[in-house]
Amino acid sequence: MDTVTSRSTHITTQRKTTATMCQHQPPCPTADSADREAAHPVAHFPEQGWSLLCNGVLLFEDTGELLPDGEIIAPHRPLDSRSITTAA
């Protein structure tokens, strides 16, 4: 008897929410919290315009965000007509 299902127990390494390795006190807000931008930055790449926060959120300098689960938060900078750049 050959069983095709015998290999299915091999793949168990893909977990969804493992980005929280926070060791700060008090702990940083989680990525799904409204407060997520208050997490400590753990990596900063000003030349590329983004920071990696402790909770796994990528925070871009235009205030856009990329969450650990792949969700994209649109930039929510304050309305200021002077900051509109006319690139053309």
Point out which residues bind Zn ion (CB under 5 A): 22, 24, 28, 40, 54
Are 56 and 29 in contact by the 8 Å Cβ rule? The answer is no
By beta-carbon proximity to Zn ion, the closer residue of 40 and 44 is: 40
Are 56 and 19 in contact by the 8 Å Cβ rule? The answer is yes
By beta-carbon proximity to Zn ion, the closer residue of 24 and 77 is: 24
Minimum distance of Zn ion from residue 72's CB (angstroms): 22
By beta-carbon proximity to Zn ion, the closer residue of 22 and 57 is: 22
What region does 9 belong to: left with phi over 0, alpha with psi -120 to 50, or beta? alpha
Minimum distance of Zn ion from residue 19's CB (angstroms): 11
Minimum distance of Zn ion from residue 20's CB (angstroms): 8
Cα distance between residue 68 and residue 66, in whole Å: 7
